[in-house]
Structure 1
């Protein structure tokens, strides 16, 4: 049986299993037992362990008349995420059931239980979401419903924006290392930016971190696992001046966990070495005003995962055969001297990110005025061995210094009125410089030298938006929004120095956009537990420039803005209130000028990355998420995402054909292919979910045992990619057991991730002489204990 046949069989099995779970839950016997349980006296919710201070704080926050400056799609609120202290309801986010969107809301409890500690872990808990590292580095690319941008140099805006506490991060790397002390998260697919922040085509991922409290409490958790991995989280929160001024300080450290070994030296690779802090100061000078000052700092000196070579385009340099957990890398002393780093440097990061934001809100009665000012910086130093061998053919070191200032003003009407509206404006300014060093000394006779590419980039964006919703008779609501955005970017003073050979200076270039976007929809609340909606949205994303390893001016041609016309039909249903919830949506995207990282072949030099536009393509699909409490003690969740994409007008360089020709002739030359009718580069099917069994024992304790799963179908990594140019499908399984007292300050958990010890790959790419894949982590077994007061 071929790999393709195996993948198809695995995909069919996963679809059948998901459908069985859904159908079984609505069978007649289940309905009978659910109705019985819902009417039983013990139906009220039971709470997880939490401190008395947290309870007092929650009551005060519920009673507070001031509407705090929150994101338009509120994420999970709660006290502490380190030891899960929020009240446990069978179903969460009840107010979100009346919002016309397909947002996946995620509690802090879910993030903790399923080990979601970084942006790369998010696809475990949301449908149709792909988050991949950039060539194995700490930088990430996001794809939501098939829309995203593979940006190695990270100098362009992502198609899926990340928000922390309402602050948009225009450079994805700035958002790394901040996933601690999280109160909840929300993943919203589709065009966004009509009621807040910046316009985007793919959607957004919004995190809410825990706020200061009016009572003293704190906590600490320690997580220890295989390969000497250690994670520590802590927080302290309380009042400074009664209920007027309060603070919160939280931090985390991550160490160890390196699971790759070099068979030549016995050295380990992949150890984390990260420390982060966040501080918040909240001032309520009077009943209707709130001011929040926040600051954060991240120092990440973690090692990165080494690439596993798949195709060798330089037969004169032999590639070793290594097992899954083995890796090789090299580091030339000449490169060490050039970049000023130690000769003992292993593939790793030396990144510092810090930032501060000021949020102010005042409730005028008829509306609330909110201001969000933010300043973010990144200082990135990353070394990667992108060919995964002992040869100096694809070693790279890059320095990035960047900062972003943003300002948002938003006036929001009172809630629960027939007419609700939001009007506002957003401004963002980015300044960046980059240096990329390449070691090609073993890539002979084609190159054989060290090289540096450097540039500066300026960018500013200004947008204005208005969003309205109006309730008509018969429980019908009309929704509309309009935004205008102007964006201007300049790539400045780019030069490439091939040491010992030549220096190349290139003309500055730029990209600008000035467009309107909008959304229009209708929402029908058929019953209090069933809502349906339909909406049409058009959105856009700014263009930009390629700035990686430049040797000819043609690489710097700017790519155009992309636009999406999106149609979405969905419903949200609490089929059995507080027992069985099913939300689903179907979507169709008419996609123009899709931005993608293609190839630019320089004769005599080789293929280089360059961003291009795909003139026309389409994406359609369905997704659902369900939460079920079919019988007492059993809790099930399931996310299902299926999408298909197709290029309608698209001619580009065929990377696999170019590589094959070089292997046969030793000549680099462009080969073009018409990809009209070809499937897009997305996994067609994503499944993730969990099953938990919770039981009280000895009258004083609660135990929980559960499993979680994650399936992703095969993904082409180049247009029309097959074989080595396609990531194979994979299925991962995790498990956990947790014990805590019903009234007490501690929790204890043992867990396992990738419990079947699957060998799989998370992304792939090409660097000079090698096409490589980045392997995913093997089985980890660990334990976690937490204490709060």
Structure 2
């Protein structure tokens, strides 16, 4: 580890300790056909086991030739059971009647999952878009998502870290280190979780303090001088107290260049520390304390010009910067006036200067047949992010975010604690208070002749009461019933949007914008059945309803009416599936679903005659639907060889009259034009596909592992907002690695390649103002070595 990394880790650890106390159906046939094609891989779980007793007895009961002895002693491949807590109790993933994908810590490394955005390359029906290439992730699961570059609205996908729910998508970066597993739950959630969602939930479960001393460190060096480090130390402090301290740092790695100056862009500069304590106060009362802190001073990704950058005045249409032909080229530039206004250097590169920290306390108390759980948490984020959305040295759309997020959550749960009972249940209450102070600066000097500021405060109070029960009607048939009631108030205050200089502020409109408030009351629930057709085959069918609260469009605006809140959305999901271990080495899981969407929250845009540009606004589509399926296969044909894969398919459309802004026609006409979008396809990729193949073997005491994984992402057309010129084309990604573990098992050497075939691809395409079309491109091929040591 570099000396800079060591100093950074110890400084963060000291900060965490000192500040912790202060922190407050055609689809069914299609899925069967797809399942039949599952002969390539997703996530490797399996290892080897000893021969079954019957084999061993047979081998010892009869004289064996040399060949037969070798056959009898050969290890037999067997699938590994994966334990999850998706339903608030420990279960095998194969016993949970829901579509759940599980990625282990090893899977995350193999599949190049370094942040939440990378999850889209590792599991079916998941997409995570970077807003204009920045740090704001935009989640979709099964096509259910919310696209917004501002930070004030909740996501359709919930993110939990060790049962602590995060309110805003921007808070989820920097969580993936020292991870035991990630659970991706598809479909509405709410009857088991603190936060209600329509799309699904992603649970990050970290490694916990251990009963025996453990320690390890991993160092990774790769292309562009990328330098990553992770480490941990864990073990008992006393007979009743255990602790764990983990850290992560990342440096360098710039892979983009300024097309005009040759300056590099893309360096990492992050560090994070997480400390945990487990205390067994009594046999029945246990506490878990967690504190974390970190910073991110990395470069932002630069955007690529997919069309020539043209002038809109003084020679309208004149090409100022040609479209990029070099895949890694980008551009940026700050005017001295804008740099002074936001308080950064005129020489600054697009990048972040974020600080985050938090603390949580989980208490569990066993009362025999009942268990009580309390989870109290506080999280803080200060986001400072400069982005150049025009990708040139011109001041067409230079952006600077200055956000402060404070979040307090309290969850109480009571649950059954008798594994032998026919009734398993959980009930709880959840409260959160979230405050956001956002200032969003824009430099439009070369387009509109102004610099702009949008600023506001937002307070959100959420109270939810939920419960779910599973009853064993027979030894094979189980019934499920869940219910949730939620109340939320969301207040937007002190909103202002207008042109700004160091000495003045001029509102875009008058009078001043009034404070806005929206109150949401939603009921959601779940009903379902599970049937064990065979000991290793589970059939299930569920109907669940999800609910997402309303919110505000907090963009630059010239009209206070644009602040009028949009309505909540609801989604009723019909899902059926099966999970089957067809034999001891072959596993197949499949689900099909139909979503009935009401008041879907959709990003559109109005045409503003003053700025002669489109301004984003959220509207509600009265009715829409999504249909699809997923299949996952895992096969261990021989000991040491694991083949696994996933496939997901979905399609959707607006199914009722939906008259709203036609953004393309409005821009062409110079005034708002309206279109009925009934029958129009929803905007998301239809097909996702991927897999993994790994092989483990031993030679002279050395353990070897060869692995490759791949993913396919389908074409993505943002038809409603942007039009066909901003279609993201389909692409494949392939990664590979080879690992060697010497005798003794303490060292592990891995040689890896990411984007092995150097595929050029786009993550998203967009524009902020006319004459400036950009794309966020994917990282080119990188290679490197990872060295791990465990004490």
| TM-score category of the 2 structures, normalised to the smaller one | 0.7 to 0.9
The Cα of 1:550 is off from its aligned counterpart by 2.2
Q: 2:560 pairs with 549, 553, 568, which one?
A: 553
Which residue pairs with 1:302 in the alignment? 298
Work out whether 1:348 is the aligned partner of 2:351: yes
The Cα of 1:23 is off from its aligned counterpart by 9.7
Alpha carbons of 1:368 and 1:742: their partners in 2 closer, same or farther (altered >3 Å)?
A: farther
Work out whether 1:572 is the aligned partner of 2:579: yes
**Unaligned segments of structure 1, at least 5 residues:** 1-13, 26-33, 49-61, 63-67, 76-93, 662-666
Summarize the alignment of residues 190-589 of structure 1 with structure 2, pairs less than 5 Å apart.
190-242=187-239, 244-311=240-307, 312=309, 314=312, 315-316=317-318, 318-322=320-324, 323-414=326-417, 415-443=419-447, 447-473=448-474, 475-499=476-500, 502-504=506-508, 505-577=512-584, 579-589=585-595
Q: Give the distance between the partners of 1:594 and 1:41, measured in 2 at CA.
A: 59
Work out whether 1:108 is the aligned partner of 2:80: no
Partner SS for 1:337: helix
Tell me the TM-score normalized by structure 1: 0.88
Summarize the alignment of residues 720-731 of structure 1 with structure 2, pairs less than 5 Å apart.
723-731=724-732
The Cα of 1:503 is off from its aligned counterpart by 2.5
Q: Give the distance between the partners of 2:542 and 2:318, measured in 1 at CA.
A: 57
The Cα of 1:723 is off from its aligned counterpart by 3.5
Partner SS for 1:178: coil
Q: Which moved more, 1:720-729 or 1:159-168?
A: 720-729
Q: Give the distance between the partners of 2:640 and 2:96, measured in 1 at CA.
A: 29
Which residue pairs with 2:68 in the alignment? none
The Cα of 1:518 is off from its aligned counterpart by 1.0
Alpha carbons of 1:742 and 1:149: their partners in 2 closer, same or farther (altered >3 Å)?
A: farther
CA contact (8 A) 1:539 1:564 kept: yes
Which residue pairs with 2:649 in the alignment? 642
Which residue pairs with 2:789 in the alignment? 787
Deviation string, structure 1 residues 727-752 (Cα, Å, up to 9, x no partner) = 10001111110111353211000011
Which residue pairs with 1:144 in the alignment? 141
Q: Give the distance between the partners of 1:141 and 1:738, measured in 2 at CA.
A: 34
CA contact (8 A) 1:655 1:718 kept: no
The Cα of 1:309 is off from its aligned counterpart by 2.4
Q: 1:620 pairs with 583, 604, 627, which one?
A: 627
Which residue pairs with 2:46 in the alignment? none
CA contact (8 A) 1:413 1:420 kept: yes
The Cα of 1:658 is off from its aligned counterpart by 3.4
The Cα of 1:112 is off from its aligned counterpart by 1.6
Partner SS for 1:716: coil
Which residue pairs with 1:182 in the alignment? 179
Deviation string, structure 1 residues 582-630 (Cα, Å, up to 9, x no partner) = 0110000000111122112111311011111111100000101111112
Deviation string, structure 1 residues 256-300 (Cα, Å, up to 9, x no partner) = 111110121110111111110100111101112210110111200
CA contact (8 A) 2:78 2:636 kept: no
RMSD: 2.6
**Unaligned segments of structure 2, at least 5 residues:** 1-30, 43-50, 57-71
CA contact (8 A) 1:317 1:391 kept: no
Work out whether 1:713 is the aligned partner of 2:728: no
CA contact (8 A) 1:701 1:741 kept: yes
The Cα of 1:47 is off from its aligned counterpart by 13
Alpha carbons of 1:556 and 1:475: their partners in 2 closer, same or farther (altered >3 Å)?
A: same
Partner SS for 2:759: coil
Tell me the TM-score normalized by structure 2: 0.87
Q: Give the distance between the partners of 1:38 and 1:388, measured in 2 at CA.
A: 66
Q: Give the distance between the partners of 1:332 and 1:358, measured in 2 at CA.
A: 46
CA contact (8 A) 2:405 2:434 kept: yes
Q: Give the distance between the partners of 1:69 and 1:359, measured in 2 at CA.
A: 18
Work out whether 1:697 is the aligned partner of 2:702: no
Alpha carbons of 1:161 and 1:224: their partners in 2 closer, same or farther (altered >3 Å)?
A: same
Q: Give the distance between the partners of 2:420 and 2:54, measured in 1 at CA.
A: 32
Q: Give the distance between the partners of 1:744 and 1:423, measured in 2 at CA.
A: 44
The Cα of 1:69 is off from its aligned counterpart by 13
The Cα of 1:510 is off from its aligned counterpart by 1.6
Partner SS for 1:656: helix
CA contact (8 A) 1:595 1:612 kept: yes
CA contact (8 A) 1:363 1:369 kept: yes
Q: Give the distance between the partners of 2:53 and 2:41, measured in 1 at CA.
A: 17
Partner SS for 1:616: strand
Deviation string, structure 1 residues 346-398 (Cα, Å, up to 9, x no partner) = 10011111111000001111111000001011100011110111210110001
Kindly tell me the number of residue pairs found equivalent between the two proteins.
Answer: 720
Which residue pairs with 1:80 in the alignment? none
Q: Give the distance between the partners of 1:41 and 1:723, measured in 2 at CA.
A: 60
Deviation string, structure 1 residues 57-108 (Cα, Å, up to 9, x no partner) = xxxxx9xxxxx99663579xxxxxxxxxxxxxxxxxx712111101111111
Which residue pairs with 1:664 in the alignment? none
